[in-house]
Amino acid sequence: MATRLFREAIREALIEEMDRDETVFLIGEDIGRYQGTFRVTEGLFQKYGPNRVWDTPISEPGFIAIAIGAAMEGLRPVVEVMTWSFAFLAMDQIVNHAAKILYKSGGACPVPLVIRGPAGPGKQLAAQHSHSFELWVAHSPGLKVVLPSTPADAKGLLKTAIRDNNPVMFIEHPQLYLTRGEVPDGEYTIPFGVADIKRVGRDVSIITYSRGVLLAQQAAERLQQEGIEVEIVDLRTLMPCDWETVFNSVRKTHRAIALHDDWRYCGFGAEIAAQIQEQAFDWLDAPVLRVAGADVPMPYNKYLERAAYPQVDDVIAAVRQVLT
């Protein structure tokens, strides 16, 4: 197995899918000639030319709508949003068009669309650029939602996303782009709706995804020295979501923590807590705790920013709390 940067793994998936399928094309702002803000699409314009890699004006509603229409005609657009914070401008296209067209057409018009890009805090980009975005789209039937935590998952899940016949929201964490990991050689895909136990443990289950997985791993290593065995369930996809694996883990550990960068209030952690208490009520020895972002717009100052979303110590504190 070769090791890859997270963003290289994404690029590999794009290249492999563009090579195997003429209908796959990329569209977004500064992704071609300029190579992309986070360099994910580096070299692809040179490799595939202007009919496969489209640089757009700053018109998120417009080019996302165009991608939807193209998808209805059987093309497979992969849209890059510079950050998901800009997807608010295209909320009507995503939630009220892409997610609804198959249903309102009585099944006649699938929309095989991928929208991908970074979402999340950590770069001092402040209030208007730092949103997590998973909740907005998870709360919208008709959309699939993917948040990979490793290069290998990112590649396998993105290939699945591009082949999927539905609108897939593929959300990358900016703090992961330069993380490195092993990526299987050759062709592979990872199915949606299959969680991955990133670490096996008996004492407490941390249910998380994306950057949360790295955070949980760091916490788990420190807690291990005290003999606390943390199990890490990486959901990988929130819609569809592999709840059985979550429940089985909790039935084993009897304790659960939901972890994400996104705001706590009405965040995905609430759904995790609600489902666990619905389905594993009698197995729970303690309430499901949530470790999540502070319910405030993201501040610019770096210390305030650090305090605004989960850090390793927060996870460790929650584990101790749920164990007492």
Partner 1 sequence: MSTRTRTKKAALSKEEREELLELYRQMVLIRHFEQHCDRAYRQDKIGGYLHLYIGEEALAVGFISQLQPNDRVLGHYRDHGYVLALGSDPRRVMAELYGKVTGLCRGKGGSMHFYDKAHNFLGGYAIVGGVIGIATGVAFSQKYRQSDGITLCFFGDGAMNAGLLHECLNMAGLWKLPIVYIVENNKYAMGTPVELHSAVTNLAERASVYGFPSCQIDGMDVLKVREAAREIIHHVRTRQEPYFVEAITYRFVGHGAADITDPGSYRTREEIEEWRKRDPIPNLQHYLLQNGICTEQELEAIDQQAQRIVEEAARYADESADPPLDELWQHVFAD
Q: Where does this chain bind ligand TPP (CB under 6 A)? A: 29, 58, 60, 82, 86, 89
The SS3 call for residue 239 is strand
Contact partner, 194, from partner 1, a copy of itself, ligand TPP, none, Cβ < 5-8 Å per class: none
Q: Which amino acid is at 301?
A: N
Whole-number Å distance between alpha carbons of 251 and 13: 36
Select from a copy of itself, partner 1, ligand TPP, none the partner in contact with residue 200, using the beta carbon and a kind-dependent cut-off of 5 to 8 Å: none
Closer CB to partner 1, 110 or 277, in the complex = 110
Q: Please, which residues have CB within 8 angstroms of residue 169's CB and are 6 or more apart in sequence? A: 94, 115, 133, 134, 137, 143, 144, 145, 146
Closest contact distance (angstroms) between CB of 60 and partner 1 is 8
Q: Which of residues 200-229 bind a copy of itself (CB under 8 A)?
A: none
Nearest CA to 150 among 208, 193, 206? 208
Considering the complex, what minimum distance in angstroms separates the CB of residue 132 from a copy of itself?
Answer: 10
260 assigned to active site: no
4 binds, among partner 1, a copy of itself, ligand TPP, none (CB under 5 to 8 A by kind): none
256 binds a copy of itself (CB under 8 A): no
As measured in angstroms, the least distance from the Cβ of 146 to a copy of itself is 15
The count of residues interacting with a copy of itself (CB under 8 A) is: 51
Active site residue 60: yes
Is residue 113 within the footprint of a copy of itself (CB under 8 A)? no
Task: Catalytic residue, from 8, 16, 97, 129: name it.
Answer: 129
- Ordered alpha helix ranges (H), the chain: 6-20, 44-48, 60-72, 91-93, 101-104, 134-138, 151-163, 211-224, 243-253, 268-279, 302-308, 312-323
For a copy of itself, the binding residues in 11-70 under the rule CB under 8 A are 61
The closest residue (CB) to ligand TPP is 86
From the list partner 1, ligand TPP, a copy of itself, none, pick the one residue 317 interacts with, judged by a Cβ distance below 5 to 8 Å according to partner type: none
b/e map 260-277, b = 16+ CB within 10 Å:
bbbbbeebbbbbbbebbe
Instruction: For residues 23 and 44, give the distance between their C-alpha atoms in angstroms, rounded to a whole number.
Output: 15
Task: Say if residues 255 and 205 touch (Cβ distance below 8 Å).
Answer: yes
Q: How many Cβ atoms from other residues are within 10 Å of residue 71's Cβ? A: 24
Q: How far apart are the first and last CA of the chain?
A: 42
- Distance between CA 237 and CA 227 in Å, rounded? 30
| Identified catalytic residue from 8, 12, 16, 60 | 60
For ligand TPP, the closer of residues 188 and 300 by Cβ is 300
Cβ proximity to partner 1, 75 vs 270, nearer residue: 75
Interface with a copy of itself (CB under 8 A), residue from 271, 311, 317, 321? 271
Phi and psi torsions of 182, nearest 5° = -75, 140
Catalytic residues: 60, 129
